[in-house]
Amino acid sequence: MKMPRGILFAGLAVALLSPLSAATADTTLSLWSHWADQDAKRAYVEGAARAFEAANPGVTVEVTWYDKQPLYAALKTALRAGQAPDIFYAEPDQKEYMENGLILDLTDRLNWDNLESWAKDVWSHEGRAYGLPLEAWTVEMYYDAARLSELGAMLPDNGQFGQQAFLDLVEKAAAAGVTPISLGVGDRPYPGAFLSHEALLKMLGVEDYTRLLAGDLGWDDPRVKEALGFVKAMVDAGALPNTFSTLKLGESHYYFHTKPGALTFLMGSFYPSRAFQSPDKGGQPAGFELGIMRYPALDGAACNECKTIAVGGSYVVNAATEHADMAVAFLNSMATPEMGNKWLEDNLVQTGIKSDASKITGDNAGYFKALAEVNDGAKYFFGLPRQVMAPAPREVFDQVVNQAFPAGLVDVDDVVDQMSGAY
């Protein structure tokens, strides 16, 4: 299976936007969004807003930018007070928005023909769909090609180390004073779990992994313990930074490619949105030799070609908005192949909007070729565990599998016991 389509630009075509009725004239549409520190994503959304205004005279799209946690705090207060914006940033794991009727049902409103079916599924609840899946990403293992060479290691032709070979590499890097895997959970509830859920997915395959997250397969299954045992071996070998528990997502990027430097970086494929900025803005140093390898192949795994793809940053419409039609029209102005292509080209990460990555040219064409190659033949599971789990096990998963287990605070039996109890 080839990598899902999603990501490029052919320009903002105002002619593709359908003008709203005159009744919307002199109206302000408010949008609150994450990505305050990500220039490319800001430029994309601001560009979409200006194009929408040009196609709809009298309409103003007012965008307010936040970092993620301050945004969530502001939305919590605003929604409770009835003062939330017309449109706001959300992610599919925020099921409380759907469960409590806080966001508009877009099932019959959004132009789903221009969106990937798997992205719609991720944003669905009880058969209804609620969000524009703007950002999507796979879990990738980036590596510093120069460091790999310095350690005397060579990536196999298929781009995937075996289980023992990768453990040997972790030990070799740690012995040389190089952090094997840059990773941190200081400000996100999911990166630490990458180590475990990719191992579990490969060992079990999509069907049984789905059963595990739903509670229909026990966490005491021997295959689960075996996969977690591999993760424990990496942790015990010193795979992660000493600052893992406090290292923030943005800091983990810098830790990998600049200071102090790490051999690999297990991260979402949104990596370039930060790393391909100039060094003075936290991007990779000039000449950095970035590579992408596959997560290690586990012994006896059902599906070593399996990997996770997730829907991330999305936009939803406030159910209490007085401008529902206008808000939906703005989302539909982004739900086009042209805008999908623009997203890919500008932000260097996948999207739930149908588009064609093969059309990318220029400086970043090589990166997308490498990303396509490492995903060639992949079999995908759609969604992070916390996006598909019920609330009780999700909370335990966040605390145990995302934080305590990779931090070395609990062992495999503790994970099995606590996750079993959560169901």
Q: CB burial class (10 A; 0-12, 13-18, 19+) of residue 366?
A: exposed
* Rounded average pLDDT over 345-371: 86
Give the integer Cα–Cα distance in Å for 135 and 311: 6
User: To 5 degrees, how large is the angle CA 192–CA 67–CA 64?
Assistant: 150
pLDDT digits (tens, 9 = 90+) for 302-342: 999 999 999 999 999 999 999 999 999 999 999 999 999 99
Whole-model pTM: value is 0.81
pLDDT digits (tens, 9 = 90+) for 67-80: 999 999 999 999 99
H or E element: which one contains 147? helix 145-150
pLDDT digits (tens, 9 = 90+) for 50-69: 999 999 999 999 999 999 99
For residue 92, say if its preceding peptide bond is cis, omega within 30 degrees of 0. Answer: no
Query: Helices 163-175 and 222-236, interaxial angle, to 10°?
Result: 20
Q: Which of 7-11, 82-86, 138-142, 234-238 has the lowest mean pLDDT?
A: 7-11
What is residue 184's DSSP assignment? Answer: -
Domains of the chain plus CATH, in order, are 14-133+314-355 (3.40.190.10), 137-309+381-422 (3.40.190.10)
Strands 87-90 and 128-129: unpaired
Cβ-count burial 165-199 (b if 16+ within 10 Å, e if not): ebbebbbbbbeeebbbbbbbbebbbbbbbbbbbbb
Strands 262-268 and 179-182: parallel
* Rounded average pLDDT over 168-185: 98
Residue with tokens 């079916």: 117
